[in-house]
Chains A and B, each alone.
Chain A
Amino acid sequence: MEIGLTHYLVLGAVLFGLGLFAMISRRNAILVLMGIELILNAANINLVAFARYNGLGVDGQVISIFVIILAVAEAAIALGIVLNLYNNFATVDIDEANTMKD
Chain B
Amino acid sequence: MLEQIINSLNGFLPETALIVSMLVTIILDLIIRKKSVVVTAVGIAGLLVSMYFAYLQIGAKAILFSGMVVVDPFSVFFKMILGLSTIFVLLFTTVSKEIQDSTHKNEHVYLMIAMALGAFLMASSVNMLMMYLSLETVSLTSYVLAGYTKRVKRSSESAMKYIIYGAASSGIMIYAMSLLYGFTGTMNIYETSIFLSKVNLTGNPLIVISIIMILAGFGYKISSVPFHFWTPDVYEGAPIPVTAFLAVTSSAAGFSVLIRFITNSFLAGALVQNGNFVVIPGVNWKEIIIVLSVASMILGNFVAVWQTSVKRMLAYSSIAQGGYILLGLSVANQQGLAAMLIYLMAYLFMNLGAFYVLILIANKLDTDELIGMKGLGYKAPAVCVGMGIFMFALSGVPTTAGFVGKFYLFTALIESKLVWLAVVGLMNSVVSLFFYIKVLKYMFLMKPEDGSTQKLQFGAGAYVIMLLLAVPTMFFGIYFTPLVRIAEYSISMFGFR
Contact = CB atoms under 8 A, between A and B. Distances in A.
B444 interface: no
Contacts of A32: 164
Interface residues of B, number: 39
Given A9-B182, A81-B160, A102-B232, 9 more contacts: A43-B171, A46-B179, A56-B185, A74-B163, A81-B156, A87-B150, A94-B161, A97-B157, A100-B157
A67 B128 CA distance: 12
Interface stretch (B22-30, B69-77, B136-144): B136-144
14 contacts: A12-B178, A32-B164, A39-B175, A43-B178, A54-B182, A66-B129, A74-B136, A77-B144, A81-B163, A84-B159, A87-B150, A89-B153, A94-B161, A100-B237
Contacts of A50: 178, 181-182, 185
A18 interface: no
B252 interface: no
Contacts of A12: 175, 178
Contact of A54 (B136, B147, B185, B233): B185
- 3 residue pairs, one from A and one from B, having the closest CB atoms: A50-B182, A39-B171, A46-B178
Chain A interface, DSSP helix/strand/loop, else mixed: helix
B133 A40 contact: no
Interface in A25-63: 29, 32-33, 35-36, 39-40, 42-44, 46-47, 49-50, 54, 56, 59-60, 63
B456 interface: no
Interface in A57-102: 59-60, 63, 66-67, 70, 73-74, 77-78, 81-82, 84-85, 87-89, 94, 97-100, 102
- Interface-central residue, B157, B167, B237, by most chain A CB under 10 Å: B167
A93 to B, nearest CB: 11
Chain B interface, DSSP helix/strand/loop, else mixed: helix
Interface in B215-271: 232-233, 236-237
Contacts of A73: 136, 140
B315 to A, nearest CB: 10
Contacts of B151: 88
Interface string B1-18: 000000000000000000
Contact of B164 (A42, A54, A84, A94): A94
Nearest to A5: B182
B177 interface: yes
B156 A19 contact: no
Given A33-B167, A47-B178, A70-B133, A99 B157 contact: yes
B153 A39 contact: no
B371 interface: no
Contacts of A74: 136, 140, 163, 167
B160 A97 contact: yes
Interface in B121-155: 129, 132-133, 136, 140, 143-144, 147, 150-151, 153-154
Given A42-B175, A54-B185, A77-B143, A36 B167 contact: yes
A50 B153 CA distance: 45
Contact of A89 (B140, B157, B159, B167): B157
Contacts of A36: 164, 167-168, 171
B164 A29 contact: yes
Interface in A2-24: 9, 12, 16, 19, 23
A70 B138 CA distance: 12
B64 to A, nearest CB: 18
Given A32-B164, A43-B174, A46-B179, A77 B157 contact: no
- Interface-central residue, B168, B174, B303, by most chain A CB under 10 Å: B174
A57 to B, nearest CB: 10
Interface in B159-217: 159-161, 163-164, 167-168, 171-172, 174-175, 177-179, 181-182, 185, 187
Contacts of A70: 132-133, 136
A46 B175 contact: yes
Nearest to A56: B185
Contact of B129 (A33, A63, A84, A94): A63
Contact of B171 (A40, A98, A100): A40
A39 B172 CA distance: 7
Contact of B153 (A43, A44, A78, A99): A99
Contacts of B179: 46
A42 B168 CA distance: 13
Contacts of B136: 70, 73-74
Interface in B294-315: 303, 306
A39 to B, nearest CB: 4
A70 B171 CA distance: 10
Contacts of A29: 160, 164
Contacts of A16: 175
A5 to B, nearest CB: 8
Nearest to A32: B164
Contacts of B175: 12, 16, 39, 42-43, 46
- Interface-central residue, A44, A54, A81, A99, by most chain B CB under 10 Å: A81
